[in-house]
Amino acid sequence: MILNKGLRGTCAQCLRNWSTSSVVFLEKQSKYAVTPDENVLKDLRDEVYKPRKHPGVMKESATVMPEGFVKAALNTVADYPVKALVESGNTLSRHLKGRVPPMERTQILRKYEQVRDKVLRQHLDREITSQEEERRFRQMSKDKIDNIMREKIYNWKPMRYDVYSSLAYLLVRAPAEYAVLRRILGEIARRDPEFTPRSLFDFGSGVGTVTWAANFYWKNQIYEYFNVDCSSDMNDLAQVLLQGGRGNAPSSLKGAFFRQFLPASNVGYDLVASAYSMMELPSMETRLDTILNLWNKTQKYLVVVEQGTNAGFKVINEIRDFILQIDKEGSVGHVFAPCPHDQSCPRYVRDDGTPCNFEVRYWTMPVGQKSECRTERYCYVVLRKGKREDSDQPKWPRLVRPTLVKSKHTLCRICSCKGQLEDVIFTKKKHGKLTYHCARASRWGDLLPITLETNEEINNKDTED
């Protein structure tokens, strides 16, 4: 829960820092020249779209669950105490957001040695005159070390979902996860309109939110849905939802398969996803073995999503770095989103306790509760097979924190294609009316249709010309 409190203060702290150190930003701003994308500028001048609708905008209105999903959920929980399920779901959701992956054995041993040395240093002057006194001292020290270790080491246990907990998960977690996946898959659909997946593989499929989100964009293109979840009750629930909440009804989706274990074969799938599942694996070795298995099944895109906490961010960055270091022919990949580069994550390297996360709004399901608009924070990476080509996509920087809009200037914190975090102050006088209004309309998670260049890079270009 401490992580969550830290997250709630992140935005406010960022805004306070920005407002109290604008002089520093102005100094940094002088090092860079902002060059707007010429194609976007032309479209803006021709009024193809307004600045608030520029092609880098990713934000959508609050996501609502599909009507068919809500009806199926109502049918599924008809014989259960719905209000109690919602309360259990809220408790489960809080637990999942505070969850961290298990510590590695080497980390535990290192921590144990640190605690042991600290405890023993407190008794350096103690005189032991008998074997019985020594025995009591050893037992006392051991008990004290064990108590401290229990406080310091997260008691990780694998999540086990039965029928009841699966239904609780459905009512509370499904809308948030669906909204996140809609946002991520929507960016793929917008930026790569030629991508028409024929097959989908979902690891840790749960109640099937990946399938429902993918169907929003490619329902008529996908012909195979392979879902893997270790919980047989989750698999049964996901299948029943596709049947409208009635187990004896035909499925609304053909080609959907459910399994409890990863298949041994490396059959390829156009789109492979793992949402909120990697932290449920017992070790880093298992996570990396699993992600390599998924990467080998990927033909075009691999999507990995975790909670928007520091723990979720570290797992995502671990996976990102692991895939990017693969140098085997046919397995090379690059980051499609959110990063505009393949270098080390600047936020992770800085290690300032702030995760690289994003936010989406969604409406809760009107099942056992009044529908409310809430926000969900998440960390993610979309990896694409093949080397990064200059012609693939424009290398627009991404906003990684809320935009700070003032009366005559706008402050944007962006992650650039150079693999750096930059604070850019946009003004109408310096950057032009259209670029200024594009920055002003952009929000956390959007791409800015600009490039950042240092004075040295501009001089080098002029020399070459």
For the stretch 121-134, pLDDT in tens is: 887 777 777 777 77
Whether residue 372 is predicted with pLDDT greater than 80 in this model: the reply is yes
Q: Which residue has the tokens 């209004």?
A: 437
Alpha helices in 21-57 (DSSP H): 22-29, 38-45
DSSP-based three-state secondary structure for 77? coil
Share of the chain above pLDDT 90, in %: 60
**Residue 128: per-residue pLDDT:** 75
**Lowest-confidence region among 51-65, 196-210, 381-395:** 381-395
CB 221 within 8 A of CB 198: yes
**Residue 458: per-residue pLDDT:** 56
Whether residue 453 is predicted with pLDDT greater than 90 in this model: the reply is no
How far apart are the C-alpha atoms of 43 and 62, rounded to whole Å?
27
Query: Of 350, 200, 344, 184, which is closest to residue 276 (Cα–Cα)?
Result: 184
In b/e form, how buried is each residue of 268-278, taking b as 16+ CB within 10 angstroms? Answer: ebbbbbbbbbb
Amino acid occupying residue 411: L
Whether residue 338 is predicted with pLDDT greater than 90 in this model: the reply is yes
pTM of the model: 0.86
For the stretch 102-113, pLDDT in tens is: 877 777 788 777
How far apart are the C-alpha atoms of 74 and 368, rounded to whole Å?
9
Compute CA distances 369 → 67, 85, 366, whole Å: 16, 10, 6
pLDDT bracket for residue 391 (50, 70, 90): low
**Residue 304: per-residue pLDDT:** 98
Give me the count of residues in the chain: 465
How far apart are the C-alpha atoms of 287 and 281, rounded to whole Å?
6
Q: Please give the DSSP secondary-structure letter assigned to residue 263.
A: -
How far apart are the C-alpha atoms of 407 and 416, rounded to whole Å?
25
Distance of CA 140 to the CA centre of its chain: 44
Q: At what angle do helices 310-324 and 284-297 cross, to 10 degrees?
A: 50
Whether residue 385 is predicted with pLDDT greater than 90 in this model: the reply is yes
**Residue 349: per-residue pLDDT:** 82
Query: What are the two backbone dihedrals, phi and then psi, of residue 132, each rounded to the nearest 5 degrees?
Result: -65, -40
CB 315 within 8 A of CB 378: no
For the stretch 236-292, pLDDT in tens is: 999 999 999 887 776 778 889 999 998 888 889 999 999 999 999 999 999 999 999
Whether residue 459 is predicted with pLDDT greater than 60 in this model: the reply is no
Q: Which residue has the tokens 């930059």?
A: 422
Whether residue 4 is predicted with pLDDT greater than 60 in this model: the reply is no
DSSP-based three-state secondary structure for 422? strand
Sequence-separated (6 or more) residues with CB below 8 Å from residue 434: 36, 41, 44, 45, 51
